[in-house]
Amino acid sequence: MRVLVTEDDDNLRLALEVALRGAGFAVDTAADLPAADEALFVNSYDCAVFDRMLPAGDALRYVHGRRQAGWATPVLFLTARDSVADRVDDLRFGGDDHLGKPFAMAELLVRVRTLCRRGTARQPTVLRHADVELDGDRHHVRRAGVLLTVTRKEFLVLQRLMMTPGRPVSRQQLIEHAWDEAADPASNVLDVVIAQLRRKLHDPPLIGTVRGIGYQIGAS
């Protein structure tokens, strides 16, 4: 799950990034609205976290404008303005959740995870292809009924492949799903994960290489 954090306080932005990464999220950060706008233009996210008051203005107005244009990514607002009226405005004009400052990091992680699940609710919880079953809620992978031990990156790469069985998935799409913009698409991290998955899934092989594009699960 990939999250965008927009926060102008350097210390808080770093703390949020560290906590979210530690909880298994892929995280991109922005210090202001122009940087957030650029990130949202380039990437897709499962959830976006915005500090309400930013150097370029109120993030609520920015989010409201994007909502009117059809943007649907779940949004969590962080703000020291925690009156009933402020909470109502956050939800009325485009926010999905509101967390007053100061807050407990554990609570933020739960709220972000809930919003990410809401954003991907249209995806089936359990994905199946051939004799492989991937359970998104339990983070379990089974082949022929046997539970496999996979890392989080292996799980996310396999999940993205199983979303579109029989169709190629580009290296960039796989990296965006399992990592964040700090990852280098030209590096071999993805190839290492694919090799580990192939070994753990055993025979008959399921993950194929599509030259010049990326990988796919199942026959084309």
Spell out the domains of the chain, with CATH numbers in brackets: 2-119 (3.40.50.2300), 126-217 (1.10.10.10)
What is the per-residue DSSP string for 140-190? EEEETTEEE---HHHHHHHHHHHHSTTS-EEHHHHHHHHS-TTS-TTSSHH
Instruction: State the Cα–Cα distance between residues 120 and 38, nearest whole angstrom.
Output: 22
Instruction: State the Cα–Cα distance between residues 64 and 191, nearest whole angstrom.
Output: 40
Residue 90's H or E segment, with its range, is helix 84-92
List pLDDT tens digits, range 139-189. Answer: 899 999 999 999 888 998 998 898 888 888 888 888 877 876 555 555 688
List pLDDT tens digits, range 25-81. Answer: 889 999 999 999 888 877 778 899 999 989 888 899 999 888 887 788 899 999 887
List pLDDT tens digits, range 188-211. Answer: 889 999 999 999 999 999 999 998
One-letter amino acid at 100 equals G
Q: Which of 18-26's residues contact partners 24+ apart within 8 Å by CB, and which partners? A: 19/105, 19/108, 19/109, 20/109, 20/112, 23/109, 23/113, 24/152, 25/1, 25/112, 25/116, 26/1, 26/2, 26/178, 26/179, 26/180
Kindly tell me if the per-residue pLDDT of 220 is higher than 60: no
Q: Give the pLDDT of residue 187.
A: 67
Rounded alpha-carbon distances, angstroms, from residue 29 to 9, 43, 73, 137: 11, 12, 16, 26
Kindly tell me if the per-residue pLDDT of 122 is higher than 60: no
Q: Give the pLDDT of residue 81.
A: 77
Q: Is the peptide bond before 102 cis (omega within 30 degrees of 0)?
A: yes
How many Cβ atoms are within 10 Å of 12's Cβ, its own excluded? 15
Q: Give the pLDDT of residue 186.
A: 58
